Amino acid sequence: MMETSFLAVVLTFPTVIFTILLGIILLYWLLVILGTLDIDFIDIDELDSFLQTIHSGFTNIPFTIIFSLLVLCAWIISAIATRYILLSIEWHFGQFLVGFVVLLLSIWLATYIAVYLIIPLQSFLPKTETAHILNGRGLIGKVCVVTTAQVSTTAGQAEYNDGGAGLILTVRTIKPSVFLKKKDNALIIDYDANHNLYYVDFYDDTL
């Protein structure tokens, strides 16, 4: 009975929308862990104006983390409202109307909750490559450490020690023959401002 009730909640509008998004997010983070995708798969610069309307502090945190937390909060709020309000409404059209209101309120409340949850975490999270605005080509010649399972011509991520929390960089290799794995040292050899990424090559620290 409890399982049926749970499924009824997560598969009822509007919670089902957040359930689907949550499933996509879980798959995304699995691919990030496996090194298939970058944590900055969604370019934060393209969403900068949107983030500023929510909270200026968000621009220093990967958008994927923000979006994941926002969806999780919205899913919880919507699920609670669905369980205790929507499922008690027998009139289907009335349930849809109330569900639409719950959808908007869930997003609105989740945004504020996400703000207050993320702000204290900023000091513990490494800065993302919004720092390219300050560094850019200034990092060429610097050494970073690969943080994803691999770095190729299509995917990869590395961390540069800036003396603080560290910078998370989106990196690529230029040659398909160059293969970097997690914890390898990589030399930054070029910067692509158009795509906001760095090109790296293998670095032998014994030389």
Q: What is the pLDDT of residue 168?
A: 85
Give 186's strand partners.
Answer: 144, 202
Task: Return the structure tokens found at 196.
Answer: 């906001």
Domains and CATH numbers, the chain: 2-121 (no CATH), 129-202 (2.40.50.140)
Q: What is the pLDDT of residue 115?
A: 81
What is the distance, to the nearest Å, from the Cα of residue 104 to the centroid of all Cα atoms in its chain? 22
197 vs 188: CA distance, rounded Å = 10
CA angle 99, 11, 2 (to 5 degrees): 110
* Cα-Cα-Cα-Cα dihedral sign, residues 65, 70, 73, 74: negative
22 vs 9: CA distance, rounded Å = 14
155 vs 169: CA distance, rounded Å = 11
Q: What is the pLDDT of residue 92?
A: 85
Q: What is the pLDDT of residue 5?
A: 84
Q: How would you write the pLDDT of the chain (207 residues) with one tens digit per residue?
A: 444 488 899 999 999 999 999 999 999 888 878 766 665 555 444 444 444 444 444 545 677 888 899 999 999 999 999 999 998 888 888 899 999 999 999 999 999 898 888 777 666 655 554 444 445 778 889 999 998 888 989 888 899 887 776 788 889 999 888 889 989 999 999 998 888 889 999 987 765
Cite the DSSP H helix spans in the chain. Answer: 2-10, 15-34, 48-54, 63-84, 92-118
Q: What is the pLDDT of residue 133?
A: 45
Closest to 185 in 3D by CA, of 167, 205, 169: 205
Q: What is the pLDDT of residue 149?
A: 86
What is the distance, to the nearest Å, from the Cα of residue 3 to the centroid of all Cα atoms in its chain? 30
SS3 6: helix
Q: What is the pLDDT of residue 61?
A: 66
